[in-house]
Amino acid sequence: MNRAGPGTFSGDIKECLREDVRSLLQDTTTTTVITVSTPTQAGTFTPASGAYANTVSECSVRAWVTDLTLNQVLGIPGAQIGDLKVFVMDDDLQVPPNKDTSLNWGGDDYSVLEVRTDVINVHHELHARRRS
């Protein structure tokens, strides 16, 4: 794993890395399309109706999706067999993902448990669990 800080890479190198990751995530033989939904602000409550509504950024993006390995499950607090690891490009999202982000993949809904962003902000690694 690269332990370099964000200031370590020049703009040119960062752009080359971004394009390398993008080309991997655009490979339609190994990736899929998912819908990423992230609340963009605190919801609004309407007292008269009792309704509460979130403002949500929702976009469909190409992603690489796989199950967490057993070693990853053992190393991530709260992770379970069957949880997913999802890689998405930062540039493809309207807002950065967080633990309130949800995913839809293949008609199934998933809750994001953890978000890891690479050191140069090119992609996000999301750990997600299928909602029952």
- Per 3-state DSSP, what percentage of the chain is helix, strand, and coil (rounded to 5)? 20, 45, 35
Task: Give pLDDT, residue 9.
Answer: 65
- Per DSSP, the three-state class of 19 is helix
Per-residue pLDDT tens digits for 16-72:
888 888 888 777 788 899 999 998 876 777 788 877 777 888 999 999 999 999 999
The phi and psi torsions of 85 (rounded to 5 degrees) equal -115, 125
Task: Give pLDDT, residue 122.
Answer: 85
Half-sphere exposure of 23 (CA within 13 A, CB side): 5
Task: Give pLDDT, residue 31.
Answer: 85
- Vertex 55 angle, CA 52 and 57, to 5°: 145
> Going by C-beta distance under 8 Å and a sequence separation of 6 or more, which residues neighbour residue 11?
none
Task: Give pLDDT, residue 28.
Answer: 74
Per-residue pLDDT tens digits for 85-107:
999 998 899 899 999 999 999 99
| CA separation for the pair 105, 121 (Å, rounded) | 24
CATH architecture for residues 31-130: Beta Barrel (2.40)
